[in-house]
């Protein structure tokens, strides 16, 4: 009897290709992208060259796409060179959303992964969430589907590897070409600007993403991503990223856009507005003045 | 020193040109080419999103206290490096290395690293000695 039950369990496991309940992978804890560990001064320690090398940024762009990207990259490099010479970059609008695939490739935000049989949920500290349905369903029907920064994801398990299929992704911010999804590599720079961000690909709204996420050792996960976009790429683009468990943290800590309006221009320069003093149980002080002009109570 | 990428919800101005933006706000107000050292007493440690601030009272050349606002990265990033809301308390004597605001008329800067009552504060690798304050 016991042998029959064991055989039945094995058959059920293999038939669904799901790990048995007691074998669901232990992906608990908080995760961060290796190389994007933040420092207390707001930086990370990974040079742009390292980023390009480690992330295998070599998209097989179509020649006409590459020609446009070269123009964009030239403008970006020019901007950084100007910042190296002391120019202040233009103010940018508030955007709290990284979106997919940036949350998996380049984001400094930590995240949790909650795998269950029916669905795996990835929760990022910026309050972005990816829902990956593994209950055997198909993608959302076309007449019910619209593009979002996180796309439409379904998946299945191959042993302890989660395979995710994502479509209907759009860029989180409205730009000059909102129909395109820019893939941007960035890393540390040597000049005053201190970083470099270069657009390496511009995907179409038809881009299709396949990820294979697995634990490579006790403390590391790997995401092997393939991007398929016949409109803009000559062949599938393969990338990989490694994640490690976050140190010092045993719970989710949130990011948000609170205090977005504290960059006034004073004397021709951007400045800062420190948040009001605030303690639990008391309302914040009713003031927000530029630094050095604080009227917060002493 | 490894090159440090300033981007913790940063200013990623180039992305505007690229048609995107992933940042809360700019660090452009800080002069990244200068490092200044300040010594003073913590008035308040403002632990809040999107960025944390150290309000510190610093005596100027005339011996008069001036309030400086030192901006750090986000709470989420700070806890990952070991900081806590109680790491600094009002009255703590501290020494901080900062990138000052470009506008020298306003007392403020971007946190790099420093020393608190219990020793070194977690931060970027120690830079070359800055201008004394």
CATH of the domain at B87: 2.40.50.140
Could you tell me if residue B93 is inside a domain?
yes
Tally the residues of chain B. Answer: 133
Interface contact B64, partner A, CB < 8 A: no
Q: Which pLDDT band, with edges at 50, 70 and 90, does A14 fall under? A: very low
Task: Report how many Cβ contacts below 8 Å link chain A to chain B.
Answer: 280
- pLDDT < 70: residue spans in chain B: 1-26, 124-133
Could you tell me if residue B21 is inside a domain?
no
Based on the structure, what is the number of domains in chain B? Answer: 1
Determine the average pLDDT of the residues in A227-244. Answer: 95
Average pLDDT, chain A: 79
Of A206 and B127, the structure prediction assigns the larger pLDDT to A206
Say if residue A258's pLDDT is above 50.
yes
Give residues 6 to 45 of B whose Cβ lies within 8 Å of A.
6-29, 32-33, 43-44
Task: Give the CA count within 13 Å in the CB-facing half-sphere of A109.
Answer: 30
H-assigned helices in chain A:
2-16, 48-54, 63-84, 102-105
For residue range A106-128, what is the model confidence (pLDDT) as tens digits?
Answer: 888 899 999 999 999 999 998 99
Say if residue A56's pLDDT is above 90.
no
Taking the model in full, what pTM does it have? 0.79
Q: Quick check: A173 and A95 in contact, CB under 8 A?
A: yes
Say if residue A22's pLDDT is above 90.
no
Could you tell me if residue B14 is inside a domain?
no
Report domain extents, chain A.
23-245
Interface contact A96, partner B, CB < 8 A: yes
Q: β-strand B93-100 against B108-116: which pairing, if any?
A: antiparallel
Distance CA B76, CA B67 (A): 26
Task: Write phi, then psi, for A82 (nearest 5 degrees).
Answer: -65, -40
Q: Quick check: B44 and A294 in contact, CB under 8 A?
A: no
Q: Which of A7-11, A209-213, A275-279 has the lowest mean pLDDT?
A: A7-11
Residue appearing with tokens 């590599």: A185
Q: Which two tokens stand for residue A229?
A: 């976009």
Judged by CB atoms closer than 8 Å, whether chains meet at B103 and A188 is answered as no
Residue of B1, B8, B16, B20 best to disrupt the A interface, most CBs of A under 10 A: B20
Q: Which domain holds residue B77?
A: 30-121
Q: Which pLDDT band, with edges at 50, 70 and 90, does A76 fall under? A: confident
Say if residue A179's pLDDT is above 60.
yes
Q: What is the pLDDT of residue A17?
A: 54
Q: What is the pLDDT of residue A232?
A: 96
Could you tell me if residue B103 is inside a domain?
yes
For residue range B59-90, what is the model confidence (pLDDT) as tens digits?
Answer: 999 999 999 999 998 899 899 888 999 999 99
Say if residue A247's pLDDT is above 80.
yes
Distance CA B32, CA B124 (A): 13
Q: What is the pLDDT of residue A176?
A: 55
Q: What is the pLDDT of residue A182?
A: 86
Q: What is the pLDDT of residue A58?
A: 82
DSSP annotation of A248: S
For residue range A142-176, what is the model confidence (pLDDT) as tens digits?
Answer: 999 999 999 999 999 999 999 999 999 998 865 55
Percent of chain A past pLDDT 70, that is, above it, reads: 65
Q: What is the pLDDT of residue A57?
A: 73
- Residue among B50, B66, B76 minimizing CB distance to A259: B50
Q: Which pLDDT band, with edges at 50, 70 and 90, does A103 fall under? A: very high
């Amino acid at each position: 009897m016991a042998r029959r039950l064991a055989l039945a369990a094995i058959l059920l496991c293999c038939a669904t290709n799901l790990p048995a309940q007691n074998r669901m992978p232990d992906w608990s804890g908080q995760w961060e992208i290796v190389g994007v560990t933040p420092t207390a001064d707001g930086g990370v320690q990974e040079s742009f060259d390292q980023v390009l090398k480690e992330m295998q940024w070599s998209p097989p762009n179509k020649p006409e796409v590459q020609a446009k990207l070269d123009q964009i990259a030239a403008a970006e490099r020019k901007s950084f060179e100007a910042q190296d010479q002391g120019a202040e970059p233009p103010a940018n609008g508030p955007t709290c959303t990284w979106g997919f695939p940036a949350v998996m490739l380049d984001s400094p935000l930590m995240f949790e992964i909650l795998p269950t049989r029916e669905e795996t949920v990835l929760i990022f500290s910026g309050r972005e969430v990816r829902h990956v349905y593994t209950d055997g369903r198909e993608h959302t029907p076309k007449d019910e589907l619209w593009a979002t920064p996180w796309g439409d994801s379904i998946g299945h398990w191959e042993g302890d590897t989660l395979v995710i299929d994502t479509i209907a992704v759009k860029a989180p911010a409205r730009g000059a070409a909102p129909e395109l999804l820019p893939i941007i590599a960035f890393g540390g720079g040597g000049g005053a600007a201190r970083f470099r961000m270069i657009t390496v690909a511009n995907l179409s709204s038809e881009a299709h993403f396949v990820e294979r996420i697995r634990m490579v050792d006790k403390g590391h996960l790997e995401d092997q991503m393939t991007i398929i976009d016949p409109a803009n790429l000559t062949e599938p683009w393969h990338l990989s990223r490694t994640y490690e468990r976050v140190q010092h943290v045993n719970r989710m800590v949130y990011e948000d856009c609170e205090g977005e309006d504290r960059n006034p221009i004073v004397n021709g320069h951007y400045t800062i507005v420190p948040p009001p003093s605030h303690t639990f149980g008391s309302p914040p002080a009713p003031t927000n003045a530029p630094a050095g002009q604080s009227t917060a109570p002493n | 020193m490894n090159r440090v990428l300033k981007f913790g919800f940063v200013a990623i101005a180039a992305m505007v040109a690229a048609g995107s933006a992933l940042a809360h706000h700019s660090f452009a107000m800080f002069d990244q080419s200068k490092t200044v050292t300040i010594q003073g007493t913590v008035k308040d440690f403002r632990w809040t999103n999107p960025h944390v601030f150290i309000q510190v009272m610093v005596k100027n050349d005339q011996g008069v206290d001036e309030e400086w606002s030192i901006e750090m990265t986000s709470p989420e990033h700070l806890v990952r490096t070991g900081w806590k809301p109680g790491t600094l308390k009002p009255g703590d004597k501290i020494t901080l290395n900062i990138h000052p605001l470009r506008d020298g008329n306003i007392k403020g800067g971007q946190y790099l690293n420093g020393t608190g009552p219990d020793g070194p504060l977690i931060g970027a690798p120690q830079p070359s000695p800055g201008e004394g304050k």
